[in-house]
Every structure is written in structure tokens, then in C-alpha cells.
Amino acid sequence: MNGFPHPAAWVHLDWVLLVVVAWFAIGVLGVVALKRLRFVATVLFPASGFFSLVLLGLSLSAAGNGAEVAVLPIGLPQLPFHLRLDSLSSFFLMVIGGASAGVSAFAAGYFRKGEGTPPGLICLEYHVFLASLAMVVIADDAYAFMVVWETMAFSSFFLVMANHRIPEIRSAGYLYILVAHIGALGILLCFGVLQANTGDYTFANMRAQHLSPFWASIAFVLAVFGFGAKAGLLPLHVWLPEAHPAAPSPMSALMSGVMLKIALYGLLRVSFDLLQTRIWWWGVLLMAVGLVSALFGVVFSTVQVEMKRLLAYSSIENVGLMCAGFGLSLLFSAYGMKTLSALALTASLYHLVSHAFFKSLLFCSTGAVMHATGERSLGRLGGLIRFMPWVTWPTLIGVLACAGLPPLGGFVAEWLLLQSFLFTTGLPSSFLNMLVPILAALIALIAALSGFTMVKYFGVIFLGQPREEKLFHAHDARAWERIGMLWLAAGCVVLGLFPNQVIALIDPVTQLLVAAGLAQAVAESGWLLVPVSIERASYAPAIFLLGVMASFALAFLLGRKLYRGRTRRAPPWDCGYPWQSARMQDTAEGFGQPIRQIFEPMFRLRRELPTPWDEQPRYHVTVEDPLWHWLYLPLAALVERCSKVVGLLQQGRIAVYLMYSFVTLIVVLLVVKQ
């Protein structure tokens, strides 16, 4: 490594690269032990989790220490890899290390024999994916960024295609890689605009350019398009509900919990760091796209009947909320309101790290349920709390965090976001003062629907009676799976109980991006979380937790004292219908039916109605994405027609091809002559 005069100054970056090399080495060992499942599961994946913890420790140590730069003499001539580790990179390395540690531990107990791709090959793809995630956030030039970005895309594509013998999975993989490359074109064009025709594609040169408002806006829109395609923002979200259910559950956890955040990293890097301009309508655009995506995602998640598709749409919702917070921060920054810009950015980053933990946890628990029952449909599950307690209780923590309930991390993030929206009355635009509170009400609606979705997810899977006979034989998670889920659940709890300490870790990022932070004000408030001033709002997670624990303890003691020995167990009231069975329970479809009726214009419903000739009459409703039929299918038909026209050029005769060359030469000569 060269390009920096004092190697001791970039010791953290040096060690980060060693972790990346270690992940590559683990992947290569997986290929050597291609079909040795026990070695891959019990040695390589735990080793990967160890290096994730090392990366977490390095990023915590590097937070707030200033930028470290280096140049790797690899790549093309005159195009080495420029690397930079600053506060923004350190924060996202923290997210990668913290979430992947739990996912890798879970993966050590997840894989079985005979599941699609050989375990050693999955190990290679998984660790190349991890290494590319880390390299993306430390890349400091467009060339290095695009190389590792495409490495991330292709490695995740192969993970999606792990069970490639199934046609639906091949279709999902093709859709994913197609949207990924469309987004990559937008990112590449964005970098082309940012370098301002200087020929220097380093990020340092892009920071030094002062683009006109027009070209800065072009770069911003291209960044939203390119990184939004990877993050799952509307209307480029269609790959996400297909790819996440197709991939193995640990890979789904890593893609949803971490990869979507790397797309948001790119959006932050361009919008707040490389672009030196702030225009108010950028924030409005990002808020609009984010909130539309969030509402779309949460409404569709309420009506899903397949576990991983429900979580995939939930990820669209959460990414949309994060983008709305980024947009609000941009809006405040454009008007010079730095403290409020830092508040909105802190809320979004808090949501980002919280989502990395609870969504990874929920995908892991879904994988454990699928292995134990062989089912992914909510309609065939139920009552698993009695057979899978080690899966149930960590899942409950993840569900509560995802629903935004205190005292977990999801609540802190959404509470901070709502607080930042409540301060928009100070904007110098009356139109924005009227508009933004409406958006705050929309966030409250989204939060309520998210809670509804999580009640459905947890209740239908774990509560009630088993809906299938085979559920009585469901087995609990293995030891490594338990360790992984407990780590992720612990992260959700820590993020909820220690918000002041987490904000202190976020503060260097906001100082870098908007030149303001909340750490000092929060530190002065002691054990209270006070985002701006205690007269406006405050939150005490420790007091809330103690209050909840005291309430439960009091209820338990009163119950024992007043009703001990007088408890009578009996079936619930059955409305006079004596034959109670699992079929009497509310189904996943029935649970989501009220939301489906309220938001019916947002869906494309396909109904299967019974006929008088059916021996077993059946009524079934399929909910489909209208954008798929309104936008993507017509676009695909147009591309196919254009391809057929272009295909007419392929005549298979050399004389025709020579004629093409001759006509082209004549046209070029005429153009040059003129």
C-alpha cells in the first residue's frame, strides 16, 4: 500500500483490508472443501462471524478519528484503487460487521445437505459478497467503486440463484441482475457528471468541483435513480419481493439487512459529500419518493401470505422511511438549519442501523421456521411457540422493534424522525410549512400499519393452534442458529436502551455531512434522550422499561394472590359452535382483509370464484403489484418488439453484411465532408 506518508496514520484502514482479505480466504477454503458441509458450517462460517466482530471493533475504534486514505496499486494502468476511511465509512462498516456477525453464526447452523448449490460454493459467494460490501464503503474513486459494486451485484445474484433448478428462482435472479445493472448505469452517469469533464474520477476531485445548479441536479437525480434501484425505491422495487424469497434465508437477511443500506450509503455519499450544492426541492423529491415507497411497501406487506415476501415488502417500507429522513435533512440543510438537518439525519441513520439488526433477525427466524416445518405460507402455520421457544422469543423482540414499540431501537428511530418533522414549522416557505406536517401524519399511518403487519406475522406463525399435523413435530433451532438470533436480538435491545450512546456514534457522521450534531446536547441531558430541548420533547428508555417490568410484576403478584387455586381452564367462547379446531382461527388472508378493502385501489386483485359444478367450491384472491402490469410488462413488450426489428438485420448472408459496411462508410464520409 502506498500513497500516504505515515503508515501509522491509516492503521484502521490497513486492518479493514486484512478483514476483507480474510473473508476472501474463507471463501477460497470453501471451494477447496466444496461438499464438506460440516467443515464449512462449523469452521468457516463461525470464522467469518469472528472477523465480522473484528470489523465491528475496528469501525468503533475508527469513528470520529478523521479520514484515512491509501492507494492500492491494483486495477488498470493509471487507474489504481483509491481508498478512504472516514466517519461515514466507519459507520457503515459498523453496520456490516454488527449484522453479519449474527447472520454468519446463524448460517453455521442453517445449511443442510442436498439444498441446491454445494455448501462450499455458497461459502465462496457469501464471503465475496461480504468483502465487496466492505470495499464499497471505503472506495474513494469511481473506478474502484464500480468494480466492487458490480462484484457485490454478481455475488448476490449467485446467492439468489442458489436453488437455480427451480424456474421461479431463475426468473427472480434474472430480474434482480437486470434491475441492478440498470441502476449501475445511473450511478456511472452520475459519476460522469460529478467529475465535471476533468477526466479525474477520484472522489477528492469530485468534492472540489462546484457544479451549476442544473448539472448538480442532474447528478442528484441520477444518484437517486441508480442507488434507489438497489435500495428498492419505487418504481424500481419489483426485484426485491422476488429475490428475497428466492435466496436462502441467511442471504436474504444479509441482502435486506445490509445490502440495501449500502445503496443508501451511496446516496448519502453523493448527496451530502460529493455534491457541494443543496437545493430545497431535492429534499422534497427524496421525501416524496421515500414516503410513497414506504406507504406502498407497508400496505402490500399487510396482505402478504408468504413469510419472506411479507418481510421483503416491509424492507421497502423501512428504506422509504430512511430516504424520507434523508430528504428532510437535505431540506433543512438547503435553508441553513444545520441542527435540525442533523436531527433528521440522525433519525434516519438510527433507523438504518436498527433495521439492519431487526430485519436480519426476522429473516433468520423465518429460515428456522421454514426448516422446522417445510412451510413458507402463513396459512399453514400456527402454534409454534410451544415447539420452537428459542425461535419464538428472539423473533418477538425483532417484531416489536420492527413495529416501532418501546423500549427497542425501532421506536427510538421513528420517534426521532417524527420529532424532526414536527420542527418544520420554522421553514421559510409557507408551502413547505403546510406540506411537511401532512407528511408527518403519513409517517404515523405507516408506523401503525407496520405494527399491524408485525402482529399478523408473529400471531399467525407462533400463536393459536397448529394448522397442520406436521407442525406438532417441528424442531427448535440449532445451537449456532440460536447464537446468531440472540446476537441480533441483543442488538435490538441495546439500540433501544442506550440511545444517547448510539447517537454519540452517529455524531461524527452528521458532523462530516451537515457540519452539526446532537451528541453534545444529548450528553448534557443525562439519562434522558432530548433531541433539541427538554421543553419540546424527551424520552427515558430506562424508566419506560422499569415501568413495564414493574407493571408485569404487580399483575403477576396480584394474580397469584387473588386467584391462586381458583384458576379454571376452559375453551374460549365459541358462539354456540361446539366443534373447535385450527380452522376456526383467523387466517393470514382474513387478518389482512380489512386493509385490503380500505386500500383496494392500490392493488391489482385476481379473484378465483367457485362455480356450481365444483366438487369443492373455492374462493381465492391473489394480490398483484399494479406497477408490474402498468409499467414493466408494457416496457418488456416494447423491448421485445424492438429486438425483433433489430433482429431483421441478422440475415445470415455475407453479402448483406458487406452492404451494411458499405452504406455505413458512405454515411460517415458524407457526415465528415459536411
H/E stretch holding 194: helix 167-194
Q: What is the predicted pLDDT for the residue at 115?
A: 61
Cell numbers at residue 247, please?
435466496
Of 415, 392, 299, 408, give the one whose Cα is nearest residue 357. 408
Q: What is the predicted pLDDT for the residue at 577?
A: 65
Classify the C-alpha dihedral 270-273-274-279 as positive or negative.
positive
Helices (H), 200-306: 203-208, 213-231, 240-246, 249-254, 260-268, 280-302
Q: For residues 621 and 79, what is the distance between their CA atoms, to the nearest angstrom?
A: 55
Q: What is the predicted pLDDT for the residue at 5?
A: 39
AA identity, residue 360: S
Q: How many C-beta neighbours within 10 Å does residue 621 have?
A: 14
Q: Is 77 left (phi over 0), alpha (psi -120 to 50) or beta?
A: beta
What is the reported pTM? Answer: 0.89
Q: For residues 150 and 158, what is the distance between their CA atoms, to the nearest angstrom?
A: 12
Q: How many C-beta neighbours within 10 Å does residue 563 have?
A: 10
Task: Chunk the chain into consecutive blocks of 10 residues (it has 674) and report each block's average pLDDT, rounded to whole numbers.
Answer: 43 86 91 84 90 90 82 79 89 92 90 72 90 92 90 90 82 87 91 87 87 90 92 87 86 90 92 88 90 90 88 91 91 87 90 92 90 83 86 91 86 86 73 77 87 88 82 84 92 88 89 84 73 69 78 79 67 66 72 78 72 64 78 82 79 78 84 65
Q: What is the predicted pLDDT for the residue at 9?
A: 45
Q: What is the predicted pLDDT for the residue at 619?
A: 64
Contact 22, 49 (CB under 8 A): no
Q: What is the predicted pLDDT for the residue at 6?
A: 42
Q: For residues 176 and 240, what is the distance between their CA atoms, to the nearest angstrom?
A: 7
Cell numbers at residue 651, please?
440475415
Q: What is the predicted pLDDT for the residue at 622?
A: 74
Q: For residues 416 and 397, what is the distance between their CA atoms, to the nearest angstrom?
A: 20
Q: What is the DSSP letter of 10?
A: G
- Indicate the domain borders of the chain: 630-673
Q: For residues 293 and 299, what is the distance between their CA atoms, to the nearest angstrom?
A: 10
Cell numbers at residue 59, please?
469501525
Cell numbers at residue 508, please?
461524527
Q: What is the predicted pLDDT for the residue at 8?
A: 42
